[in-house]
Amino acid sequence: MADYYVYIMSNRSSTLYIGVTNDLLRRVHEHKQRLTHGFTKQYNIDRLVYFESGGTIESAIAREKQIKGWRRERKIELIESVNPEWKDLSLEWMEPTAAMAKSVKPVIKRGVSVQRSLQADASSEGTVKVFSRQGDSSRSLP
């Protein structure tokens, strides 16, 4: 079963974009390179500030809709629970290579990643497993 990702991207002025994908590397690359027309290109949404992985496409879409329905303050709480400085998380695991110039897919570097088990019930709360060079930890998120 393929993993599906719910992700939040932002820009310098903290505009938020929430999306779902089955290929987070490709999708982040598309946003950063402004390859897709629409909201993210118009507002230069180029920073991955949060993501969750796991589950089915149905549970990922339900979670995306749940987060989109939240007030901005709650979305910010979610982001800051794992990324208080709003760093671009893709910089932690992407590195430029000569091959990248020929390919749309970036290379994953060892480092920090965030994974979440998506629940079939979008209203359920879960635990995020944070993997880093300093060790693993689990956190409950809204």
Taking only the tens place, the pLDDT of each residue in 81-127 is: 999 999 999 987 765 544 444 444 433 443 344 444 333 333 444 44
Res 129: pLDDT: 40
Residue 70 has pLDDT above 80, yes or no: yes
User: 70: burial class by Cβ within 10 Å (0-12, 13-18, 19+)?
Assistant: middle
Segment 11-68, tens digit of pLDDT: 999 999 999 999 999 999 999 988 888 998 899 999 999 999 978 999 999 999 999 9
Alpha helices in 4-140 (DSSP H): 24-32, 39-42, 57-68, 72-82, 90-93, 98-102
CATH superfamily, region 5-141: GIY-YIG endonuclease (3.40.1440.10)
Per-residue b/e over 43-64, b at no fewer than 16 CB within 10 Å? bebbbbbbbbbbbeeebbbbbb
| 9-23 pLDDT per residue, tens | 999 999 999 999 999
138: Cα separation from own chain's centroid:
17
Return mean pLDDT, the chain. Answer: 76
**Domain residue spans of the chain:** 5-141
Pairwise pLDDT comparison (10 vs 137), residue with the higher score: 10
**Is the per-residue pLDDT at 128 higher than 50?**
no
Q: How confident is the model at residue 1 (pLDDT cuts 50, 70, 90)?
A: low
pLDDT category of residue 74 using cuts at 50, 70 and 90:
very high
Helix (H, G, I), strand (E, B) or coil at 65: helix
